[in-house]
Structure 1
Amino acid sequence: MTATTAALGSELGVPYEGLPPTATADFARDGFIHLSGVLSPQTIAEYEPVVTGEVIRLNTQHLPLAERDTYGKAFLQVTNLWEHNAKVKELVHSGRLAGIAAKLLGVHAVRLYHDQALYKEAGGGITPWHADQYYWPLSSDRVCTIWLPLQETPDEMGPLAFARGSHNFSTGRDLAISDESEAKINQLVAEQNFENVVEPFSLGDASFHRGWTFHHAGPNHSGIPRRVMTVIYMDADIRVTEPVNDNQVADLGWMPGTEIGQVPDTARNPVLYDGLRSG
């Protein structure tokens, strides 16, 4: 290992100092937060080629864009890359990133639900309005996702956008990501006067959003893919609940062997940060 590689790897374990004092309260109020300098450009440069290589290798979507449905046009989606590549595992298991999630959620420890690379191809379409927790058979809302772009993401590339405060609104939570969710949640956002927060992301920026926060993204009008890595973090003490839709039945597979009512303490769901131990 070179000195440079060692230094980059160490950043993933160094606590992030950029959280404002009001971050936990702001996250509880707004349902999301956009943070600057979460990772250095050098660290992004170290890990982006590895993530991109795994997306190319593991991608199973080979239809031309014109032949896909709305969901298929939104992005190439590859999950649990950390199980396929040790370098990606370093990023996904980062104590720095997991520590941010724990502090924002107001819990002492978080464990991994799963990771997910989302690559919006050049010419890729919208990501419809939706809330992630529709898919999750979990006992509380102490779950959040980091959205980590692997390049600068100006408006033309379709950065993730959020409806401020929408995580406290229960209508629309029965909608899978689809043309229907785009239409219905777009109407709800307008009716409830939720602010639609759309911002470009500088290199090294990342956002975190709660499971019930409505969010979406525009099309990629640039000539290059919008490369994004995401990791879903859950309260380490969360429990699995009875699925309420077919998608939640499928998602039980992310927590293999866990019975209803149990904490998903599995090899696939390691604790990534524990403030009681790190302190």
Structure 2
Amino acid sequence: MDISEIKKSFDADGFVHLPGFLKSGQVDGINARLKGWSEAKVDTMAPEHVKFEENGDFSSLKMLQDLQIYDPFFADILFDSSFTRLAEDLLEEKVFGKTLEYFNKPALIGKATPPHQDGYYFMLQPMSAVTMWLALEEVDAENGWASYVRGSHKKGMRNHSRTQTPGFSQGIADFGLPADLENEVFFPAQPGDLLVHHALTIHRASPNTSKDRSRKAMGLIYFGASAKEDVVAKASYVKSLNKKS
């Protein structure tokens, strides 16, 4: 797909799937860098940037947030890379790299990601933002594939309520309507495949029911230059979540 076809698909569906966005050697480089994040190194990160499926158990590590703050390798990826340029093409404006994250669903204990819209967390006006999800290993129905509701980005923000999932505190309260399920698309992925969605696109991910396979991925978030964040409200919201977690 050339960029005009990618943009057309993204605008129509609210998401786009780009197989082989990174070559295997590039994925290997990211995985090698992440492997260097030992338990001791993770302990140097701000507590709110680290999430576990089971608190204190490093083998259940679920999420590392804002890696660009801690490692110039990830800062370069977020701020000046093919990901950055793709975000600019999709949003049709300059972008700001907001965060780069590591995600994992450990075997057997990786919980489902509740259906949600990222824009609920972002608090932007206008809602000019995209989230990118890069598979770092094979992903399928067994170990936690992601799904998107086609066209949901055109229907505004749904009501969200509190969940018990670490790192995903809010979920769509009434998800499961016929329009949700009829338009939901699930994506198996190979290492290097990229999924990109609009901040208003409804999406979720299955739990990891595999006995011995993890589900590792890298996430990137970009805000368009036109988007204005309610910084005070966002800080208050994050503070309230950290108190409860």
Q: Give TM class, smaller chain.
A: 0.7 to 0.9
Equivalent residue, structure 1, for 2:42: 58
Amino acid at match of 1:102: E
Q: Cα offset for 1:75? A: 6.9
Equivalent residue, structure 2, for 1:206: 194
Aligned residues: 226
Check 1:63–1:27 CA distance in 2 against 1; reply closer, same or farther (3 A cut).
closer
Task: Give the root-mean-square deviation of aligned CA atoms.
Answer: 3.0
Q: Cα offset for 1:76? A: 1.2
Which has the higher mean CA deviation after the structures are superposed, 176-185 or 159-168?
176-185
For structure 1, which runs of at least 5 residues remain unmatched after alignment? 1-17, 69-73, 252-279
Q: Cα offset for 1:203? A: 1.8
The whole-number CA distance in structure 1 between the counterparts of 2:164 and 2:155 is 19
Larger Rg, first or second structure (1 or 2): 1
Check 1:62–1:151 CA distance in 2 against 1; reply closer, same or farther (3 A cut).
closer
The whole-number CA distance in structure 1 between the counterparts of 2:61 and 2:152 is 24
Which has the higher mean CA deviation after the structures are superposed, 20-29 or 78-87?
20-29
The whole-number CA distance in structure 1 between the counterparts of 2:13 and 2:170 is 21
SS of the aligned residue for 1:22 comes to helix
Amino acid at match of 1:198: F
The whole-number CA distance in structure 2 between the counterparts of 1:117 and 1:40 is 19
Q: Cα offset for 1:178? A: 5.1
Residues 145 and 211 in structure 1, CA contact (< 8 A), matched pair in contact too: yes
The whole-number CA distance in structure 2 between the counterparts of 1:118 and 1:50 is 14
Q: Cα offset for 1:61? A: 4.5
Amino acid at match of 2:145: P
Q: Cα offset for 1:41? A: 0.6
Q: Verify: 1:134 aligned to 2:109, yes or no.
A: no
The whole-number CA distance in structure 1 between the counterparts of 2:22 and 2:213 is 22
Residues 116 and 172 in structure 2, CA contact (< 8 A), matched pair in contact too: no
The whole-number CA distance in structure 2 between the counterparts of 1:171 and 1:61 is 26
The whole-number CA distance in structure 1 between the counterparts of 2:61 and 2:105 is 4
Q: Verify: 1:154 aligned to 2:140, yes or no.
A: yes
Residues 98 and 221 in structure 2, CA contact (< 8 A), matched pair in contact too: yes
Check 1:148–1:247 CA distance in 2 against 1; reply closer, same or farther (3 A cut).
farther
Q: Verify: 1:35 aligned to 2:18, yes or no.
A: yes
Residues 52 and 63 in structure 2, CA contact (< 8 A), matched pair in contact too: no
The whole-number CA distance in structure 2 between the counterparts of 1:31 and 1:77 is 25
The alignment-based identity, stated in percent, is: 23
Equivalent residue, structure 2, for 1:111: 96
Residues 110 and 236 in structure 1, CA contact (< 8 A), matched pair in contact too: yes
Amino acid at match of 1:156: E
Post-superposition CA distance 1:63-98 (Å, at most 9, x none):
738x99xxxxx9712111111122222322342111
SS of the aligned residue for 1:216 comes to strand
